[in-house]
Amino acid sequence: MSESPAPGILRTPDACFENLPGYAFAPHYLDIDGLRFHYLDEGPADAPPVLLIHGEPSWCYLYRKMIPGIVAAGFRAIAPDLMGFGRSDKPAERSAHTYARHVAQMTELVVRLDLQNATLFCQDWGGLIGLRVLANEPDRFARAIAANTALPDGPLDDGLVLVDEAGNINEAMVGTLPGAFKQWLIASQTMPVFNSGLVVQSGTVSDLPDDIVAAYNAPFPDESYTAGPRAMPTLVASQLASNARAWNDVYAHWTKPFLTAFSDSDPILGRNYKVFQERIPGAQGQPHVTIEQAGHFLQEDQGERLAEEVVAFARAGG
C-alpha cells in the first residue's frame, strides 16, 4: 500500500476524519489505477455482500445509518469512496476525473474483492457508475436496487462534455437539460467555494446539525481537493453511447430481481423509477417502494428504513 500519493494526487489527512458523528467504522484500502481507494467493509467476510455506492458530492459517510442494520441482518456491507471523494485519493486536475475511469476503477474494486452473489444498492452517481459496474460483471450480482438515480443513454457518441476543462459551459447542450439538474450543473461550476455539506443539506428534508454538515465537508479541507465533485456534474452526457450498450446488452435481458426505492421528495430524479420498471425485465412484479419523507439523499433522511428494505429484498432471494 502506497505510503504517500504521487505528484498531482491529493490525500485528505486522516485527522479530518476523526470524531465524525455516527461514524466509527474501520478504514480499508486498495491500490487501484495508481490511487489509494478507501472502502468500508463491515460484517462477516463470508456473508452475502451488499455493495453500497454513493454519488456526488457525498462519500461513504452517507451510508452510516444503513450499514448497522444490514450487518445485523447477517450481510456484509461494503461502501467504497469514489475517486476524488471521502478517504480515497483525489487527483488535483479535473481532466483526471472521467466517467469511464470511475467505472473502470469501481469494476476493479469489485473484482479485487471477489464479490459473489452480491446485492447492488446505488444512488445518484452511484447508479450511473454502479449500474455500469454491474453490466461489466453481471455474474457477480444476484440483484440490484436503484434509488434516486439514472443510467442515461442515447445515440450520441461518447466524449460529449457539458463543460470544457476551462470551465466554459456548453450553453446549447445545458439548455436542453431538466430544470433542477441544469440549476445544479451551473451552481456546481460557479459557486466560489464548493461546500459539500450544504449541498447534501439542500438535498434532504431533514434539518441537518452543523456537525453532520461538517462531516460531509471533511474530505475537502480546502478548494484544491474538490476537482472530483466539481467535475462530476459535467460528465453526465459523456458516456451515453456506452450506457446504451449496457442497456441493450445487459439490462434489456436482466431477469434477476431489480428493485426501485426512490424517495417522495427528490426534484431531480424522483420519477426516474419508471424507466427502470418499464425497461428491465427483472423489475416486473417486484415490491417497488417509495421512501416517504425523504429528499434526494434519502440515505440521510431515512437510512434505517432504507436498510430494512434492502435487507427484505436481499433475503427474498431470487
Whole-number pLDDT of residue 108: 98
Helix axes 125-136, 240-249, angle to 10 degrees: 50
Which residues, 6+ apart, have CB-to-CB distance to 18 below 8 Å? none
Instruction: Tell me: pLDDT of 154 over 90.
Output: no
Q: Which residue has the cell 436496487?
A: 145
CA distance 274 to 90: 35
Helices (H) and strands (E) in the chain, counts: 11, 10
135 C-beta neighbours (distance < 10 Å), count = 21
Residue 182: pLDDT band with limits 50, 70, 90: confident
Instruction: Tell me: pLDDT of 181 over 90.
Output: no
Whole-number pLDDT of residue 289: 98
CA distance 223 to 11: 13
Which residues, 6+ apart, have CB-to-CB distance to 29 below 8 Å? 1, 36, 37, 38, 39
Which residues, 6+ apart, have CB-to-CB distance to 136 below 8 Å? 103, 107
The mean predicted confidence, pLDDT, of the chain is: 92
Instruction: Tell me: pLDDT of 318 over 70.
Output: no
296 is catalytic: yes
Residue 236: pLDDT band with limits 50, 70, 90: confident
Amino acid identity, position 281: P
Which residues, 6+ apart, have CB-to-CB distance to 269 below 8 Å? 124, 148, 149, 150, 262, 296
Most confidently predicted of 95-99, 164-168, 171-175: 95-99
266 is catalytic: yes
Residue 191: pLDDT band with limits 50, 70, 90: confident
8-state DSSP, 169: B
The active-site residue, picked from 89, 124, 153, 301, is 124
Whole-number pLDDT of residue 166: 62
Residue 83: pLDDT band with limits 50, 70, 90: very high
Whole-number pLDDT of residue 173: 57
The active-site residue, picked from 89, 153, 266, 301, is 266
Pick the residue with more confidence: 122 or 187?
Answer: 122
14 is catalytic: no
Nearest alpha carbon to residue 128 among 273, 279, 240, 256: 240
Instruction: Tell me: pLDDT of 2 over 60.
Output: no
Superfamily of domain 9-315: Alpha/Beta hydrolase fold, catalytic domain (3.40.50.1820)
Whole-number pLDDT of residue 76: 98
CA distance 205 to 293: 7
Residue 237: pLDDT band with limits 50, 70, 90: confident
- C-alpha cell of residue 143: 440483484
Instruction: Tell me: pLDDT of 179 over 80.
Output: no
The active-site residue, picked from 38, 54, 97, 296, is 296
Map out the domains of the chain as residue ranges.
Answer: 9-315
